[in-house]
Amino acid sequence: MRRRPAFRSANSGRRLAQGLSLLFFLYLLWTMRAAGSGCLPDWLPPDLYLRLDPLAAFAVPVAMREIIPPLLPGLGVALLALLFGRIFCGYICPFGATLDLARFLGARRPAKRRDPSPGHEVPAATPRVWHGGKYLLLAALLAAAALGVNAVFAASPIPLITRFYATFILPLAQLAGKQGLDLLRPAADSLHLDALSYAQLAVRRFDALFFILVFFGALLTLEHFRPRFWCRCLCPAGALLALFSRRPPWRRRVSRCTGCGQCREHCPTGAIDASVFHTDHRECIACRRCEAVCPGVTRFSFTSSRGHEGRGPLTDGAGRRARARSGLPGRRQFLQAGLAGAGCAACSLLGLDSLQQPAAIGLIRQAALLRPPGAVPEEDFLRLCLRCGACMQACPSNGLQPTYFAAGVAGMFSPVLVPRRGPCEANCNACGQVCPSRALRRLPLDEKQRAKLGAAVVLPKKCLAWEQDRRCVVCQEVCPYGAISLRPEPGRQVPVPFVKPQRCFGCGACECHCPVESPAIVVEALGALRLRTGSYIEAARDAQLVLELEPKDAIHLLPGGEALPDGALPPGFTE
Amino acid sequence: MRRRDFLKWQLAGAACLATGFGLSSVSDANQAPAAWPDVAIAKGDPAKAVRAAVDALGGMGRFVKAGQKVVIKPNMSFARAPELATNTHPLVVREVLVMCKEAGAAKVRVLDHSLQDPEQALVLSGIRDACDSVEPGICHHLMDNSFYQEASLPDAVEMRTNAFMKDVLEADVLIAVPVAKAHGSAGVSLAMKGQMGLIWDRKVMHGRYSLDVSLADLAQRLKPQLSIIDATRVLTTGGPGGPGKIITPGEVIASADPVAADATAVASYEWYGRVMQPRQVAHIRLAHARGIGRMDIEKLRTQRMSV
DSSP A63-87: HHTS--GGGHHHHHHHHHHHHHSTH
ipTM value for the complex: 0.84
Q: How far apart are CA A456 and CA A497, in angstroms?
A: 11
Judged by a CB distance cut-off of 8 A, whether residue A418 touches chain B is no
* pLDDT attached to residue A405: 82
Q: How far apart are CA A79 and CA A244, in angstroms?
A: 7
* pLDDT attached to residue A337: 87
End-to-end Cα spacing for chain B = 30
Residues in a beta bridge with B228:
B254
Question: How many residue pairs from chains A and B have C-beta atoms closer than 8 A?
Answer: 133
Q: Which of A513, A540, A538 is nearest to A528 (CA)?
A: A540
Measure Cα distances from B222 to A66, B172, B262, B292 in Å.
64, 11, 15, 11
* pLDDT attached to residue A575: 84
Angle at CA of residue A120, ends A118 and A121, nearest 5°: 95
Residues 6+ apart with CB under 8 A from B36: B56, B57, B58, B62
Residue A517 CB neighbour total at 10 angstroms: 9
CB contact under 8 A, A464 and B207: yes
Torsion (CA) B201, B203, B204, B209 in degrees, nearest 10: 140
From B283's Cα to the closest Cα of chain A, the distance in A is: 10
Q: What is the mean pLDDT of residues A19-23?
A: 95
* pLDDT tens across the length of chain B (307 residues): 567 666 666 765 665 555 444 444 444 445 556 789 999 999 999 999 999 999 999 999 999 999 999 999 999 999 889 999 999 999 999 999 999 999 999 999 999 999 888 988 999 999 999 999 999 999 999 999 899 999 999 999 999 999 999 999 999 999 999 999 999 889 999 999 999 999 999 999 998 999 999 999 999 999 999 999 999 999 998 889 877 889 999 999 999 999 999 999 999 999 988 999 999 999 999 999 999 999 999 999 999 999 9
Exposed e or buried b per residue across A125-136, where buried means at least 16 C-beta atoms within 10 angstroms of its C-beta: ebebebbbbbbb
**Is residue A108 very low, low, confident or very high in pLDDT (cuts 50, 70, 90)?**
low
Higher pLDDT, A305 or B279: B279
End-to-end Cα spacing for chain A = 96
Handedness of CA A242, A244, A249, A250 (dihedral sign): negative
Q: How far apart are CA B209 and CA B202, in angstroms?
A: 10
Least confident segment among A110-119, A257-266, A303-312, A542-551? A303-312
**Is residue A321 very low, low, confident or very high in pLDDT (cuts 50, 70, 90)?**
very low
Judged by a CB distance cut-off of 8 A, whether residue A396 touches chain B is yes
Measure Cα distances from A537 to A381, A444, A532, A543 in Å.
21, 11, 14, 10
* pLDDT attached to residue B180: 97
Q: Using only C-alpha atoms, what is the Rg of chain B?
A: 18
pLDDT above 90: residue A158: yes
- Please tell me which of the candidates A201, A509, A558 has its beta carbon nearest to residue B116: A509
The DSSP code for A543 is: T
Judged on CB neighbours under 10 Å (0-12, 13-18, 19+), A166 is buried
Question: What pLDDT digit, counting tens, does each position of A452-509 carry?
Answer: 999 999 999 999 999 999 989 899 888 888 888 888 788 888 889 999 999 999 999 9
Q: Name every chain A residue with its beta carbon within 8 A of the beta carbon of B185.
A: 465, 471-474, 477, 494-495, 571-572
* pLDDT attached to residue A52: 94
Query: Quick one: closest CA in A to B120, which residue?
Result: A427
Phi–psi pair at B251, nearest 5 degrees: -115, 160
Do residues B241 and B116 touch, judged by C-beta distance below 8 A?
Answer: no
pTM confidence score: 0.85
DSSP B162-200: EEEEHHHHH-SEEEEEPEEEEETTTEEESHHHHGGGGBS
* pLDDT attached to residue A327: 63
Do residues A385 and A437 touch, judged by C-beta distance below 8 A?
Answer: yes
**Is residue A447 very low, low, confident or very high in pLDDT (cuts 50, 70, 90)?**
very high
Residues in a beta bridge with B69:
B107
**Is residue A357 very low, low, confident or very high in pLDDT (cuts 50, 70, 90)?**
very low
- Please tell me which of the candidates A195, A515, A564 has its beta carbon nearest to residue B203: A515
Question: Choosing among B84, B147, B185, which should be mutated to test the A contact, i.e. which has the most A CBs within 10 A?
Answer: B185
Phi–psi pair at B302, nearest 5 degrees: -110, 130
Question: What pLDDT digit, counting tens, does each position of A383-407 carry?
Answer: 999 999 999 999 999 999 999 888 8
Q: Which of A377, A382, A388 is nearest to A525 (CA)?
A: A377
Chain-centroid distance, C-alpha A447: 25
* pLDDT attached to residue B215: 96
pLDDT above 80: residue A558: no
Residues 6+ apart with CB under 8 A from B104: B64, B65, B66, B67, B68
Question: Percent of chain A scored above 70 by pLDDT?
Answer: 84
Measure Cα distances from A4 to B42, B74, B244 in Å.
85, 69, 77
Query: Quick one: closest CA in A to B185, which residue?
Result: A572
A258 three-state secondary structure: coil
DSSP A103-126: HHHHSPPPSSTTSPPTT-SPPPP-
Strand ranges in B26-93 using DSSP code E only, listed in sequence order: 39-43, 69-74
Measure Cα distances from A497 to A474, A475, B188, B280 in Å.
9, 8, 17, 21
Chain-centroid distance, C-alpha A429: 18
Three-state SS sequence of A208-233: CHHHHHHHHHHHHHHHHHCCCHHHHH
**Is residue A310 very low, low, confident or very high in pLDDT (cuts 50, 70, 90)?**
very low
Question: Choosing among B144, B205, B210, which should be mutated to test the A contact, i.e. which has the most A CBs within 10 A?
Answer: B144
* pLDDT attached to residue A281: 86
Judged by a CB distance cut-off of 8 A, whether residue A454 touches chain B is no
Q: Name every chain B residue with its beta carbon within 8 A of the beta carbon of A573.
A: 187, 271, 276, 280-281
The mean pLDDT of chain A is 83
β-pairing, A484-487 vs A496-499, is antiparallel
Q: What is the mean pLDDT of residues A348-371?
A: 59
* pLDDT attached to residue B12: 59
Query: If contacts are CB pairs under 8 Å, which of residues 535-574 in chain A contact chain B?
Result: 549-551, 554-559, 564, 569-574
DSSP B134-158: TSTT-EEE--SGGGEEEEE-TT-SS
* pLDDT attached to residue A28: 92
The top-scoring range by mean pLDDT among A26-35, A263-272, B88-97 is: B88-97
Question: Percent of chain A scored above 90 by pLDDT?
Answer: 45
Longest dimension (CA), chain A: 108
Question: What pLDDT digit, counting tens, does each position of B177-228 carry?
Answer: 999 999 988 999 999 999 999 999 999 999 899 999 999 999 999 999 999 9
pLDDT above 60: residue A555: no
* pLDDT attached to residue B21: 44
Query: If contacts are CB pairs under 8 Å, which of residues 261-290 in chain B contact chain A?
Result: 271-274, 276, 280-282, 285
Higher pLDDT, A547 or B31: A547
* pLDDT attached to residue A38: 59
Question: What pLDDT digit, counting tens, does each position of B83-106 carry?
Answer: 999 999 999 999 999 999 999 999
Question: What pLDDT digit, counting tens, does each position of A416-430 carry?
Answer: 999 999 999 998 899
* pLDDT attached to residue A351: 62
Q: Using only C-alpha atoms, what is the Rg of chain A?
A: 29
B75 three-state secondary structure: coil
